[in-house]
């Protein structure tokens, strides 16, 4: 595929949504992306919905990619993956922090092999801190990050928005970091490590509501479609349809 990232090679070792979506975005821009999956496949392959035996989400996040199956616990397969590291401009993973290093694919190891490598780590709670060792998925990230507490109708306890909100923004932030690192590499000639997480994405999404708290000391609450900054600014039900006033 042609595009501004044509000639850039990406090794995608991530699973689920946030990591693979970042790699798919690079593929959409023309990068050559190879997705590595274990013999059992990306764990999302076992979740519905399916069409013709294929998981719809995995198919969506695997767009603009080629795929290969490798068992990184087997030395022969590991050797193949390490050769691909030498080929790659970008390496992307979303293991629990520390797992990639234990498998022999940590940043320190790979950057010594390929000094121009852009290494992107995607996680739930970041690479450091008391919760960094824990894995997470979208609902957990929304709950921990506070996004769920401000979503839903007024007077409710909050709810999870029914979409991949955090995964999508986490992937976008990761992709942005990769693009900036590739730009910097043109000047310096060396790669670097990029880190992004669902928790950081949750903070980004709540910038205005967090501003309320720091300005007033009052915890934000769910407001449905209303806005705390502009009145009226929300969806209203009329006789025959909904209208949105801004």
Q: Which residues are catalytic, by number?
A: 167
Would you say 182 and 8 are in contact if contact means Cβ atoms under 8 Å apart? yes
* The two three-digit tokens of residue 27, written as one number: 């593929």
Q: How far apart are CA 37 and CA 16, in angstroms?
A: 11
Within the chain, residue ranges assigned H as helices are 18-28, 56-61, 75-87, 99-102, 107-113, 138-145, 165-188, 198-205, 207-216
59 Cβ contact list (under 8 Å, min separation 6)? 51
Give the residue from 46, 110, 45, 21 showing the smallest Cα distance to 72: 110
Query: Residue 9's beta-bridge partner residues?
Result: 32
DSSP 3-state assignment of 197? strand
């Amino acid at each position: 595929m042609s595009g501004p990232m044509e000639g850039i090679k990406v090794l995608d070792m991530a699973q689920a949504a946030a990591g693979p979506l970042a790699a798919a975005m690079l593929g959409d821009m023309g990068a050559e992306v190879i997705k590595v999956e274990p013999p059992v496949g990306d764990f999302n392959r076992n979740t519905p919905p399916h069409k013709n035996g294929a998981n719809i989400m995995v198919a969506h996040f695997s767009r603009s990619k080629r795929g290969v199956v490798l068992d990184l616990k087997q030395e022969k397969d590991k050797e193949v993956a390490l050769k691909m590291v030498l080929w790659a401009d970008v390496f992307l993973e979303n293991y629990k922090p520390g797992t990639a290093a234990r498998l022999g694919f940590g940043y320190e190891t790979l950057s010594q092999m390929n000094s121009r490598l852009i290494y992107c780590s995607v996680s739930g709670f970041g690479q450091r801190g008391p919760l960094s060792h824990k894995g997470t998925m979208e609902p957990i990230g929304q709950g921990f990050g506070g996004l769920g507490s401000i979503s839903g109708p007024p007077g409710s306890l909050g709810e999870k928005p029914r979409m991949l909100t955090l995964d999508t923004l986490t992937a976008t932030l990761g992709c942005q970091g990769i693009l900036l690192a590739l730009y910097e590499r043109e000047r310096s000639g060396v790669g670097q490590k990029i880190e992004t997480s669902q928790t950081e994405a949750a903070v980004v999404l709540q910038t205005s509501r967090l501003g309320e708290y720091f300005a007033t000391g009052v915890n934000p609450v769910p407001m449905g479609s209303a806005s705390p900054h502009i009145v009226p600014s929300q969806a209203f039900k009329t006789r025959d349809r909904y209208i949105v006033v801004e």
